[in-house]
Structure 1
């Protein structure tokens, strides 16, 4: 089985949350030059929610998406979603089942 990037990192979900939070915090401070209150208002979340997200203390996916969108970084989200969804849809579209009709018999035509 081929080795994936995920296999190379043995981070726990907690460590991953912390790293994502750190990246959001660094981007907010270094690129956007915003304080937590300003970004929280833009995102439509509370300051506490943003603080928890940045500290890796757990947050809902909805809050994460609101914050990322407010930062103008929605491509971050798309970067982690595999592009196979479109390909699966195309395959499914091509391989649609077709109905099989039984030929009418003379007795059913009467």
Structure 2
């Protein structure tokens, strides 16, 4: 999916993916909606890309056994080297200002 898609297009693409997965598992809308704990109409809206809640999407994804899709939305956190540098111990005291030597210009 490209960033240039509108929200409506993204909803339609997502709904189509859910529908294809449901059909590949040979599950009808009524049964999937029941397993997900949502109404059949909510599932129809999700598959049609005509508006659905995040809760409905998550319920359907879980009922289809594809929770791994969610990890794509929020990838695992890795250790950032810059964060490690910034997290080093705080200074305990300030350095004193040294007087310039008379020979230095």
TM-score scaled by length of structure 1: 0.69
* Distance in structure 1 (CA, Å) of the matches to 2:84 and 2:62: 32
Q: Match for residue 6 of structure 2?
A: 12
Partner of 1:32: 25
Structure richer in helix, relative to its length: 1
TM-score by length of 2: 0.72
Query: What are structure 2's unaligned runs of at least 5 residues?
Result: 93-105
In structure 1, list runs of 5 or more residues that go unmatched: 102-110
Deviation of the 1:95 alpha carbon: 5.5
> Which residue in the other structure is 1:107 paired with?
none
- Counterparts of 1:94 and 1:70 in 2: how far apart (Å)? 43
**Length, aligned pairs only:** 94
Tell me which structure has the larger Cα radius of gyration: 2
